[in-house]
Amino acid sequence: MARALGALLSTGVADGWDSGAEEGHIDGSILARLVTSPGERRVFRTGRTAARTEATLTFLVDCSGSMKEHSGAVAVLVDVFARALELAGARCGGGRALQLPGC
Protein backbone atom coordinates (compact mmCIF):
# COMPACT_ATOMS: atom_id res chain seq x y z
CA MET A 1 0.00 0.00 0.00
CA ALA A 2 2.90 2.38 0.78
CA ARG A 3 4.37 1.89 -2.72
CA ALA A 4 1.03 2.59 -4.39
CA LEU A 5 0.47 5.74 -2.30
CA GLY A 6 4.03 6.88 -3.00
CA ALA A 7 3.48 6.47 -6.74
CA LEU A 8 0.24 8.46 -6.55
CA LEU A 9 1.66 11.30 -4.47
CA SER A 10 5.15 11.64 -5.94
CA THR A 11 6.27 14.02 -8.66
CA GLY A 12 9.45 14.21 -10.71
CA VAL A 13 11.92 16.81 -9.46
CA ALA A 14 15.05 17.93 -11.32
CA ASP A 15 18.01 16.21 -9.70
CA GLY A 16 21.04 17.22 -11.78
CA TRP A 17 22.61 16.19 -15.08
CA ASP A 18 24.01 13.03 -16.65
CA SER A 19 26.98 13.69 -18.98
CA GLY A 20 28.25 11.64 -21.89
CA ALA A 21 24.96 11.18 -23.73
CA GLU A 22 24.60 10.98 -27.52
CA GLU A 23 21.64 13.39 -27.53
CA GLY A 24 20.29 16.14 -25.29
CA HIS A 25 21.75 19.51 -24.31
CA ILE A 26 25.32 20.35 -25.38
CA ASP A 27 27.74 19.94 -22.46
CA GLY A 28 30.17 22.87 -22.66
CA SER A 29 32.75 21.15 -20.45
CA ILE A 30 33.16 18.31 -22.99
CA LEU A 31 33.29 20.39 -26.20
CA ALA A 32 37.12 20.31 -26.21
CA ARG A 33 36.88 16.53 -26.56
CA LEU A 34 34.98 17.03 -29.83
CA VAL A 35 37.87 19.10 -31.25
CA THR A 36 40.49 16.49 -30.34
CA SER A 37 38.34 13.51 -31.34
CA PRO A 38 36.03 14.44 -34.25
CA GLY A 39 34.38 11.01 -34.12
CA GLU A 40 33.25 11.56 -30.52
CA ARG A 41 29.46 11.73 -30.31
CA ARG A 42 28.97 11.77 -26.54
CA VAL A 43 29.13 15.54 -26.00
CA PHE A 44 25.61 16.02 -24.68
CA ARG A 45 24.02 15.92 -21.27
CA THR A 46 20.51 14.95 -20.20
CA GLY A 47 18.47 16.07 -17.23
CA ARG A 48 18.02 13.62 -14.38
CA THR A 49 14.81 13.51 -12.35
CA ALA A 50 14.04 11.86 -9.05
CA ALA A 51 10.63 11.02 -7.59
CA ARG A 52 9.86 12.93 -4.41
CA THR A 53 6.75 12.98 -2.29
CA GLU A 54 5.94 16.44 -1.02
CA ALA A 55 2.52 16.08 0.57
CA THR A 56 0.93 16.58 3.95
CA LEU A 57 -2.35 14.89 4.78
CA THR A 58 -4.72 15.45 7.66
CA PHE A 59 -7.48 13.04 8.64
CA LEU A 60 -10.82 14.37 9.80
CA VAL A 61 -12.48 11.85 12.09
CA ASP A 62 -16.11 12.04 13.18
CA CYS A 63 -16.25 11.49 16.93
CA SER A 64 -19.96 12.15 17.35
CA GLY A 65 -22.23 9.89 19.33
CA SER A 66 -23.40 7.96 16.27
CA MET A 67 -19.80 6.90 15.53
CA LYS A 68 -18.92 5.67 19.05
CA GLU A 69 -19.46 2.00 18.15
CA HIS A 70 -17.00 2.32 15.22
CA SER A 71 -14.27 4.20 17.10
CA GLY A 72 -11.92 1.20 17.38
CA ALA A 73 -12.14 0.30 13.69
CA VAL A 74 -11.73 3.94 12.65
CA ALA A 75 -8.66 4.31 14.89
CA VAL A 76 -7.03 1.23 13.33
CA LEU A 77 -7.87 2.39 9.80
CA VAL A 78 -6.44 5.89 10.37
CA ASP A 79 -3.32 4.41 11.99
CA VAL A 80 -2.71 2.05 9.04
CA PHE A 81 -3.17 4.86 6.51
CA ALA A 82 -0.93 7.23 8.48
CA ARG A 83 1.87 4.64 8.69
CA ALA A 84 1.59 3.83 4.97
CA LEU A 85 1.69 7.52 4.07
CA GLU A 86 4.76 8.08 6.23
CA LEU A 87 6.49 5.13 4.55
CA ALA A 88 5.58 6.69 1.18
CA GLY A 89 7.27 9.95 2.23
CA ALA A 90 4.20 12.03 3.04
CA ARG A 91 3.67 13.76 6.35
CA CYS A 92 0.52 13.34 8.38
CA GLY A 93 -0.59 16.51 10.12
CA GLY A 94 -1.78 16.36 13.67
CA GLY A 95 -4.29 18.65 15.23
CA ARG A 96 -6.84 19.17 17.93
CA ALA A 97 -10.55 18.59 17.81
CA LEU A 98 -12.78 21.62 17.67
CA GLN A 99 -16.16 21.68 19.29
CA LEU A 100 -18.36 23.85 17.10
CA PRO A 101 -21.29 25.74 18.64
CA GLY A 102 -24.56 23.85 18.27
CA CYS A 103 -22.92 20.41 17.90
* DSSP state at residue 14: E
Q: ∠ CA 88-51-5 to the nearest 5 degrees?
A: 30
Contact criterion met (CB below 8 Å) for 21 and 40: no
pLDDT bracket for residue 29 (50, 70, 90):
confident
pLDDT at 99 over 60: no
pLDDT at 94: 64
Q: What angle do CA 95, 97, 101 make, to 5 degrees?
A: 140
Query: pLDDT exceeding 70 applies to what percent of the chain?
Result: 89
In tens, the pLDDT along 53-76 reads: 888 888 888 878 888 888 888 888
Q: Do residues 92 and 59 touch, judged by C-beta distance below 8 A?
A: yes
Q: What is the mean pLDDT of residues 12-18?
A: 85
pTM for this structure?
0.54
